[in-house]
Structure 1
Amino acid sequence: MSFAFCISPSRLVRFLISLACLLYASPTLAQQTIQGRVINGTTNLPAPHQKVELLTLGEGMKTASEIESGSDGSFTFSAVENSQTPHLLLRVLYHGVNYNLSVASHEEMEKPVTLTIYEPTQRTEDIQVSMPVMLAQASANALLVQQQYLVVNETTPKKTLVSPQGTFFFDTPPEVTDELNVVVVGLAGIPLPQTPTPKSGGGYFISYPMKPGVNEVRVSYRVNFNSSQRELKHRLFYGTSTARVLILPADLQVSGDGVQSAGKDSRTQAAMYQVKRIRKGEFLDIKIIGEAPKVSESDDASRDSESSEPQMQVVRLPNPVFEKKEIILGAFGVFFVLTILYALRQRTRHTNKTGASRKGIHGPQA
């Protein structure tokens, strides 16, 4: 007999509501052990005598416990509070670099985990940097610019790029004097703000440790111009093989050396352009001409000003991590609502049938 016929519609509704409460709440249910090992990814050997911290990620980041790894790199945290949705982080500080491992599910808590650390290096020969996408949104005569850089660390053996003189360099147009923001996209898509340092000869650098694999850096700034004749020009220290440039509003006139129209971006509704290969140290130079409405740079446009003029909302480069999370939660929400509606419909039918049966048995009296 199927589940649908084993439970009444009203009980099904109550069950689903209770299930939703369990999924979206996180009460402490029990205690569990977390076991794992610290491995040196450069030597592929266990890393003994490393301080391993267990952090909780509730309201802020708090150290719940810490322990030293054994001679074989192993560690065990006992009596860890086990909630419906664990928000735990394991961390090892090695040569001044934080190495983290997220523990976000019961499945991850039930099996041994591996936290990998790496030896440091200052060699940049195996570091590749590209700028795959840039968004320039006109706001009156200004441009709000967001740039995505990918720093790919392919060192062999694997090592973390560490240098106080800079691990990533970038440039901006000379008109940029403030509103410069730099973030590194960290674990689980969390933005980690960085303080850019002016570089001799122009440009900036940050000294964030670039670990093996792909490291994402996002640079955003505002460029002010005296008219709607805008020219976005700055150096690309690393060059780029190809770049996708998104322009808003989509009806602005865009031109430049090697700039070709590539249609429209479906997510941002921006005009899309492809820029051909730019060599190391050469300039990205794009002219963006045309009138544009003023853009609200706040998440809440009503806070910005008391002006009665309509304001466009600033468009931001999408974050794939949060997009996937929203899709998953959205899919569950749709399923949950449809199931509730089905249960209510079945309950109505059941009530109607019962009423009809009673009406047939206790019909109108003569």
Structure 2
Amino acid sequence: MIIKMNKFLLILLLSFMIQFPLFAESISLRVKLWNGSTESLGKADSIKVILLRDSMIPLYEQKGISGEFTIPKLDLPEGSPVLLQVSYKSANYNKMIPPVPAMRAQTQEVVVYEPTENLDLLKTRSLMQVVREKKSIHVFKIYLLRNETKPPKSIYAGGLDFYIPEEALDLQGSWTQGNSKMAIPLQFIKESSGKQRVDRAVLPGNTEVQISYRIPIESESFQFKDKLFFESKSGARPIFLKPTDMKVRFSSDANPERLQEDIPEGLQAFMVNYSKESFETTIQMEGGTPVLPVIPNEARGIVNGSLIPEWDVALAAVIGFLGFFFVLALGFDAWKRKQKNDSEKIST
């Protein structure tokens, strides 16, 4: 009986040591808040220190802060990164601090911005990829958001609305701000049928948003709708489809233009107009060889700051996330100029 009890205590001790290492360290962080809109010392509604281990574990929180200050000593497992999360006027500012003594000893500067509700200041480019699988169609969307406000401000008008069909399954999204490689999982708030909101501010610079969902299908022929909300100023978006042996038709007013240059093998692509009144289009698909999911035996999730394992690797190679905004913006603007010139020729 004593031996069994000793074994039990040993197992309990080992499990405790695994979860809570005995070799902990104490850190104290110096923080400086800077307002990038006013070019002066800033303030914030709150600051949190979060331990990045197997999950995000809150370690510290303080409200009503300003200027420069010191966060008191915090005990955490040795070699663990931490995240500084600053909230100011509906915007969150994140800074990851790696477990490097020299970097932890530095003053951690976090730049915050004054907000504006003017969404017209937000430049947007987007594309959509549609993949036919055996029992569903898999929809991927990428948005490149560019905030070039001067002086720099965060753009926040209660969040951004995205079109997500009522019948969509496996909805997932990520938000990557600026040069940060940290993709933040998105929380969607249902507003109405087909409209879901992401309650986040767009900070100065570039922001990449990825959204993925599936729509179940029951026959060889099917159709679904897509719609523009905050990105409606563009009036159109490129749509990539797979497989190539699938027949595709769009709404009568979509005026699709087939894209031929630099389109990888295995994909068909169109520049598609959305209705000027409803900002909608309908996509009809028929037949085609179902495509096997990219990672059928693994849980879906964000990997290395992206949903890229779920994306068609050929498409990712062509777009290139780093140059995506530049390439797509040039192509789209050239296409819009061509459309305008053609309409002027017809009118004359």
User: What interval of TM-score do these two structures reach, taking the shorter chain for normalisation?
Assistant: 0.5 to 0.7
How far 1:30 moved relative to its partner? 5.5
Match of 2:121 in 1: 126
**C-alpha distance in 1 between matches for 2:284 and 2:238:** 15
Alignment of 1:338-353 (within 5 A): none
Aligned partner of 2:85 in structure 1 is 91
Question: Which residues of structure 2 form unaligned runs of 5+?
Answer: 1-20, 300-308, 322-348
2:193 pairs with 1:196: no
Q: Partner residue of 1:160?
A: 154
Normalization by structure 1: what TM-score? Answer: 0.60
- Following superposition, the deviation at residue 264 of structure 1 comes to 7.8
| Alignment counterpart, residue 57 of structure 1, candidates 52, 68, 85 | 52
Q: Answer yes or no: is the 8 Å Cα contact 2:32–2:107 preserved in 1.
A: yes
**Shift of residue 191 of structure 1?**
3.8
Calculate percent identity across the aligned residue pairs: 19
Shift of 1:103: 0.9
**C-alpha deviations, 1:215-236, integer Å up to 9, x for none?**
3333333334553233343222
Residues 244, 288 of structure 2: 8 Å contact kept? no
Shift of 1:45: 1.2
The one of 176, 183, 189 equivalent to 2:173 is 183
CA distance in 1, matches of 2:270, 2:167: 28
Q: Aligned partners of 1:115, 1:317: CA distance in 2, in Å? A: 36
Q: Does 1:249 align with 2:249?
A: no
Q: Which amino acid aligns with 1:189?
A: M
Checking the alignment, whether the CA contact within 8 Å between 1:137 and 1:315 is kept in structure 2 is no
For residues 95 and 104 of structure 1, the distance between their equivalents in structure 2, rounded to whole angstroms, comes to: 27
Contact 2:224 2:283 (C-alpha < 8 Å) held by counterparts: yes
Distance of 2:244 and 2:284 partners within structure 1: 14
1:218 counterpart letter in structure 2: Q
Q: CA deviation at 1:146?
A: 1.6
- TM-score, normalised to structure 2, is 0.63
Aligned to 1:76: 70
Q: 2:197: which partner in 1? A: 205
- Paired residues of 2:44 and 2:88 also in contact (CA < 8 A): no
Q: CA deviation at 1:61?
A: 2.1
CA apart distance, 1:89: 0.8
After TM superposition, give the deviation of residue 37 of structure 1 in Å: 0.5
- The partner residue of 1:137 within 118, 131, 134 is 131
- Choose the corresponding residue for 1:44, options 39, 46, 54: 39
Cα deviation, residue 148, structure 1:
1.6
RMSD: 4.1
* Alpha-carbon spacing, 1:138–1:104, altered in 2? closer, same or farther (3 Å): same
Amino acid in the other structure paired with 2:285: I
Are residues 1:271 and 2:267 paired?
yes
Q: Quick one: distance in 2 between partners of 1:97 and 1:104?
A: 23
Contact 1:143 1:222 in 2 (8 A): yes
Inter-partner Cα distance in structure 1 for 2:28 and 2:185: 30
- Tell me if structure 2 keeps the 8 A contact 1:141–1:292: no
What is the aligned partner in structure 2 of residue 258 from structure 1?
256
One-letter amino acid matched to 2:297: D
Larger CA deviation: 94-103 vs 290-299: 290-299
Which residue of 1 is the match for residue 107 of structure 2?
Answer: 112
Alignment pair present for 1:230 and 2:230: no
The answer as to whether partners of 1:86 and 1:103 remain within 8 angstroms in 2 is no
The answer to whether the 8 A contact 1:246-1:265 is kept is: no
Between the aligned partners of 2:240 and 2:63, the Cα distance in structure 1 is 49
Given residue 300 of structure 1, which amino acid in structure 2 is its aligned partner? N
Query: Which of 1 and 2 has greater Rg?
Result: 1
| Structure 2 residue matching 1:54: 3-state secondary structure | strand
Q: 1: distance between equivalents of 2:183 and 2:227?
A: 28
Superposed displacement of residue 138, structure 1: 0.8
CA offsets, 1:233-278, max 9 Å, x none?
Answer: 3222324477443323343234553242447876xx7414141565
Code of the aligned partner of 1:220? S
Q: Is there any run of 5+ residues in structure 1 with no aligned partner, and where?
A: 1-25, 303-313, 325-366
Task: Specify the SS of the correspondent of 1:115.
Answer: strand
**CA deviations over 1:62-91 (Å, ceiling 9, x no partner):** 2333567976x1123465568775411112
Change (3 A) 1:290 1:315: farther
Q: 1:259 to 1:232 in 2, by over 3 A?
A: farther
Question: Paired residue for 1:100?
Answer: 94
Q: 1:170 and 1:67 mapped to 2: Cα distance?
A: 33
Query: Which letter does structure 1 place at the counterpart of 2:287?
Result: G
Q: Is the 8 A contact 1:38 1:69 kept in 2?
A: no
- Paired residues of 1:151 and 1:215 also in contact (CA < 8 A): yes
Distance in structure 2 (CA, Å) of the matches to 1:255 and 1:58: 48
When residues 136 and 178 of structure 1 are mapped into structure 2, their CA distance, relative to the original with a 3 A threshold, is closer
